[in-house]
Structure 1
Amino acid sequence: MALNPTLIWLLLGIGLCLIEFIVPTAFVASVMGISALIVAPLAHLIPFSLQILLWMMLSLVLVLLSRRFVRQKAAKKLDATEAETLTEIPPGKSGRVLYEGNSWAARCEDHTLAIAPHQKVYVTGRQGTTLIVMPESLIHS
Structure 2
Amino acid sequence: MSFNPTILWLLAGSILCLIELFVPTAFVLFTMGISALVVGLVSAMATPAFGNAPQFSLQVVLWLLLSVSLVYFSRRLLPTAKASKNLDGKEGRTLTEISAGETGRVLYEGNSWQARCDDDVSAIAPNEKVYIVRRQGTTLFVVPQKIFHD
* TM-score of Structure 1 vs Structure 2, range by shorter chain: 0.5 to 0.7
- Secondary structure at 2:24 match in 1: coil
Q: 2:65 aligns with which of 40, 46, 57?
A: 57
Unmatched segments (≥5 aa) in structure 1:
78-133
Structure 2 partner of 1:11: 11
Identity between Structure 1 and Structure 2 (%): 48
| Structure with the greater alpha carbon radius of gyration | 2
- Output aligned runs, 1:20-59, within 5 Å: 20-43=20-43, 44=47, 45-59=53-67
TM-score for the superposition, normalised by structure 1 = 0.52
The answer for the alignment partner of 2:111 in structure 1 is: 137
1:138 counterpart SS class: strand
Alpha-carbon distance in structure 1 between the residues aligned to 2:20 and 2:83: 21
Q: Deviations over 1:39-92 (max 9, x none)?
A: 00222331000000000000000000000233x142487xxxxxxxxxxxxxxx
Structure-1 separation of matches of 2:83 and 2:33: 27
Looking at structure 2, the residues matched to 69 and 76 of structure 1 have their Cα atoms a distance apart, in angstroms, of 19
RMSD, aligned CA = 2.2
How do 1:62-101 and structure 2 match up within 5 A?
62-70=70-78, 72-75=79-82
Cα distance in 1 for residues equivalent to 2:16 and 2:68? 15
TM-score of the aligned structures, taking structure 2 as reference length: 0.49
